[in-house]
Amino acid sequence: MTEDKREVESEKLLGISVVIPCLDEESSIGQAVEAAKQGIDKLGMGGEVIVVDNGCSDDSPRLARDAGARVVEEVHRGYGAALRRGFASARYDVLVMGDGDLTYDFDKLGDLVQPILDGEAEFVVGNRMNNIKPGAMPWLHRYIGNPLLSLVLRLMFHKHVVRDAHCGMRAITKRTYKQLGCVTTGMEFASEMVVRAIHCDVRMAERDIIYHPRVGESKLSSFRDGWRHLRFMMLHSPSTMLIFPGIFFWMLGLAMMLPLLFGSVVVEGRELDIHFMLMGGLFNIVGIQIITLGALAKAYAHLSGLREDWLVAFLYRKLTFERATLLALPLILLGLGLVLKIVIGWVAGGYGPLDASRPLFFGIICLVNGVQLAAASYIFSIMALPRHVDKLSYPGKTTGLPESR
């Protein structure tokens, strides 16, 4: 039987596939598998428990098999890599994910799955924040990290269904999961699922769950993993995080500079002079840098498959490097012309006092803006060249995905 035929048949199987990523969880994995089997039995449906061996050095895989799980191996380290491997191996059409450290009540997975079975949702995320047992979540995560990152996600993507965006216990239909097209391999996989579900207009729901103290050693790194989630959200929303703020500062800089181009200005009895113009120039330069970084982030997200961006696709069809450079050329020539004119005049005048500092500074700003746009358009164009990253090799390392956890 071909792989495609097996995939079609698997989608017809109404049941639950519980996927548990595992990295050295021998003290708890057996109990987690038993609880997941109980949860499936309570629903009265077909089901399976898949434990993904993500490089275990202990007895976790054997204990999982003994408890009745199907163990698959994922050689590339990472939370996302393990879950993606488990989802790809699932035989049933409802996927449930959760950790193997006994923090989640797998025997109550029916509460999480029910909105899907009732046709109310395609993706259900657990919410731990109302039922955290003593010692289950560090103070920093409970009151700062998780609430702040979840708030940022809601504000950036204008979706208020999910209040615990990093809860690791979730349920999703296999068809919906395939629609998301997740690609990350590390802890940011949790954010990617939610962000892509928002972009794909997936029907989402949230259900309260109990969060227990974990058994065994935690693999989380608070600041590193928190930054990875934030970095991923920024990559998925470069317009909000970079381009719009950049435009604001760029225009603010112009508004501060232009009135001072030919002399000082008095506003409500206060004289604004060259120092105010210098501040405006600084805002303008920072603004154009942020704008171009945001545009490059949008291009990277589009080209790498993180999200489809119609504007980037349009620009790649219509705006070649040469055309983009022509758009930047007037700024470069204007700036270069002003600077050369003033410098040549200064030299011809015997290096006397320079009384053209305002137009000189404005010319420098024009030159910087033009060069920044031209350089960004160059990077923008070469990013679309064919890439074969998977074929690269490094001394002492194997090819493939980098390790991430």
Q: Above 90 in pLDDT, residue 14?
A: no
Average of per-residue pLDDT across 104-123: 94
Q: Are strands 170-173 and 94-97 parallel, antiparallel or unpaired?
A: antiparallel
As a whole number of angstroms, the distance between CA 348 and CA 188 comes to 61
52 CB-contact burial (10 Å; exposed 0-12 / middle 13-18 / buried 19+): buried
Mean pLDDT of 43-68: 95
Burial tier of 364 (Cβ tally within 10 Å: 0-12, 13-18, 19+): middle
Q: What is the largest CA-CA distance in the chain?
A: 94
Q: What are the pLDDT digits (tens) for 322-366?
A: 777 888 899 999 999 998 988 888 888 788 777 788 888 999 999
Q: Could you tell me the pTM of the whole model? A: 0.68
Residue range(s) occupied by CATH 3.90.550.10 in the chain: 3-236
Nearest CA to 54 out of 28, 29, 82, 32 is that of: 82
The token pair at 152 is 């940022």
- Residue 390 confidence (pLDDT) above 60: no
Confidence of residue 402 (pLDDT cuts 50, 70, 90): very low
The pLDDT of residue 222 is 54
**Whole-angstrom Cα distance, residue 310 to residue 239?**
13
SS3 of residue 254 by DSSP: helix
Rounded CA separation 148/335 (Å): 43
The fourth-level CATH superfamily of domain 3-236 is Spore Coat Polysaccharide Biosynthesis Protein SpsA; Chain A (3.90.550.10)
Are 33 and 68 a contacting pair, CB within 8 Å? Answer: yes
In this prediction, residues 369-376 reach a mean pLDDT of: 92
pLDDT at 395: 44
* Lowest pLDDT segment from 183-192, 370-379, 386-395: 386-395
Q: What is the CA radius of gyration of the chain?
A: 28
CA atoms within 13 A on the CB side of 362: 19
Averaged pLDDT of the chain: 84
CA-to-CA distance for 149 and 191, rounded, in angstroms? 10
Q: What is each CA distance from 225 to 80, 142, 229, 343, in whole angstroms?
A: 12, 15, 6, 52
- In three-state secondary structure terms, 58 is coil
Stretch among 83-92, 234-243, 288-297 having the lowest mean pLDDT: 234-243
Least Cα distance to 233 among 171, 287, 301, 302 occurs for 301
36 forms beta bridges with none
Quote the crossing angle between the two packed helices 222-236 and 146-157, to the nearest 10°.
Answer: 0
List alpha helices for 21-59, DSSP H: 29-43
- Count the neighbouring beta carbons within 10 Å of the beta carbon of residue 329: 13
User: Per residue in 284-318, is it b (16+ CB within 10 Å) or e — as a string?
Assistant: bbbbbbbbbbbbbbbbbbbbeebbebeebeebbee
Q: Alpha carbon of 346 to those of 262, 335, 362, 382: distances in Å?
A: 18, 17, 17, 40
**Whole-number Å distance between alpha carbons of 231 and 318:** 29
d(CA 45, CA 15): 5
